[in-house]
Amino acid sequence: MNHPYKKLARALILTAACGLGATTVQAADEPPVINIKRLSMEMALKAAETAIHTCRGKGIQIGVTVVDRGGNPQVVLRDVLAPDLTLTISRLKAYTAVSFTAATSSLESRGEGALGRVPGLFFGAGGVPIQAGGQTYGAIGVSGAPSGKTDEECASAGAKAIEADLELM
């Protein structure tokens, strides 16, 4: 007795096998492994500490977050007198900078539209991507200065502090 599901099962197996063949041909054009350069913890910490010291030099206590390429926090520091809120805002700035691969100051007008209502994004100055050799390694966000411009100056100093090291990779 021929069960009706046997025909369906054979058809599905044949369809899947044909699909695998097409995928295999397409995948042959792609490398089997994708190499992604990442910041070491030491490089991320150096960027964060440089941002803290730059703002301290201006008499400002800040919070700073360095995120990886995926927007995940890698280093989070808060100077002694910086409010707790600076940590949340610095993370949002860093996440937004890496998501758009742009300084958050250049994105401020986007916050006025629909993107401004997306939770987890921050369209104010203070976040910059960490880039070297044409690659994006992550981003750094700073919060706590009286202006976003000063936040961004400190974040940029942190990114620049490791740029030469990253160029050598």
Q: Could you give the C-alpha distances from 101 to 70, 71, 137, in angstroms and in order?
A: 11, 11, 10
Q: What pLDDT sits at residue 42?
A: 97
Domain segments of the chain as ranges: 41-167
Lowest mean pLDDT among 32-41, 103-112, 119-128, 159-168: 32-41
pLDDT band at 65 (very low <50, low <70, confident <90, very high): very high
Task: Find out if CATH 3.40.50.880 is the number for domain 41-167.
Answer: no
What is the value of pTM for the model shown?
Answer: 0.81
CA atoms of 38 and 60, how far apart (whole Å): 30
Instruction: Check pLDDT > 60 for residue 2.
Output: no
